[in-house]
Copies of this chain bind each other. A is one copy, B any other.
Amino acid sequence: MGTAMAWPLVDNGWTVHVVGTPLDDDIVEACQRTRIHPRLKRSLPATVHIHHCSELDSVIAQADLVVSGVSSPGIDWMAETLAKRLHSGQMLVGITKGLRISDDGKVIVFPDLIASSLPRRLKTSLFPAAIGGPCIAGELAARRQTCVMVGSRDSTTAKTIAAMLGTSYYHPVPTDDLLSLEVGVALKNAYTVAVGMAYGMHTPDEAGMGMHNPAAALFAAGCQEIGFILNLLGGNERLASALPGAGDLFVTSVGGRTMTLGKLLGQGIPYEQAEQILAGVTLESVQIIREMAKAVHSWQSQGRIGPADLPLLRTLIAVIVDGKPTTFPFSDFFKGA
């Protein structure tokens, strides 16, 4: 995804320098040798330059905009790496999906995590941004149309980055409601697991019927719970039916890798075993569900939610964190809807 972000930037006349993490040496070498990105399966535009991690210092030093495409387990490394290298006048936008929950149940989104590591001299001038919304990397590089949101605590930053990235096929909507954007896109990863589980539960049927009904009920329950959580956090619950909620949940449900985990779990495979089957695949959804387990516990002990709230999220926590068998409480969804 990090490399795919080069397409709209290049099409807007920017020169793009892509730097691999220490784990990306194979991909970097393949790109340098063939000029074809092995995962995107596509030739790199001429103004995209590919670098090993050893060149990070010089690349960041000259950047106007730094796009961080690290996967969620690397977010602390990324925060530390950027804190030492960013300077005044630069902008930063992240595409990593995830969140952290503090001991008192506060939601910490990744751009704020990065902001908190920045040196004092940058704290009032650099406002880390994030992008969320439906966007499969390979389709972005194929210049398929999509709409996304660019969020930053500073609305000028959000607007500037949206303008740098906006093309005839990539349509970023700026927002200063960073929390709602990041919570929405993180939660959609969690709820996609539920949609995948529905499809995984398929059993042969005399008339050849599938599992679209249960998948859709869980899809709706997921959107509804995203709205509930955004509202609880004082955010914009309307985003649950827009890009970070419904839109991103749709694209992940029809085209994303998170479905694979859900399908295994839906077949009745316990989480621990599913994790072994998927060894090597980054499961952002799992990290998010684990963090949300802390949030649900904390919010309930604080009286902010009741025991009947968030029944679908509780099911995901039971399956992934507690390793329990899968049963969805369909009759508990949409209470008070």
Contact = CB atoms under 8 A, between A and B. Distances in A.
Contacts of A245: 220, 223, 241, 246
A302 B140 CA distance: 40
Given A238-B337, A331-B166, A331-B171, A144 B208 contact: no
Interface in A22-50: 40-42
A119 interface: no
Interface stretch (A104-112, A123-131, A251-259, A280-288): A251-259
B171 A213 contact: no
A214 interface: yes
Interface residues of A, number: 68
Interface stretch (A79-87, A145-153, A289-297): A145-153
A77 to B, nearest CB: 29
A73 interface: no
A206 interface: yes
Contact of A243 (B141, B217, B246): B217
A237 interface: yes
Copy number in the complex reads 2
Contacts of A42: 206-207
Interface in A226-244: 226-227, 236-243
Contact of A213 (B136, B214, B215): B136
Contacts of A215: 250-251, 254
B209 A142 contact: yes
Interface in A149-169: 149, 166, 169
A241 B223 contact: yes
B241 A246 contact: yes
A253 B216 CA distance: 10
A243 B241 CA distance: 11
Contact of A226 (B166, B209, B241): B241
B216 A146 contact: yes
Contacts of A254: 212, 215-216, 254
Given A224-B241, A241-B240, A337-B149, A250 B213 contact: no
Contacts of A208: 41
A93 interface: no
A129 B264 CA distance: 39
Contacts of A196: none
Contacts of A140: 213
27 contacts: A41-B208, A134-B216, A134-B220, A138-B209, A139-B209, A144-B213, A145-B214, A145-B328, A146-B217, A147-B217, A149-B337, A166-B331, A171-B217, A171-B331, A210-B255, A212-B254, A215-B254, A216-B251, A217-B243, A217-B247, A219-B246, A219-B250, A220-B242, A220-B245, A223-B246, A240-B241, A245-B246
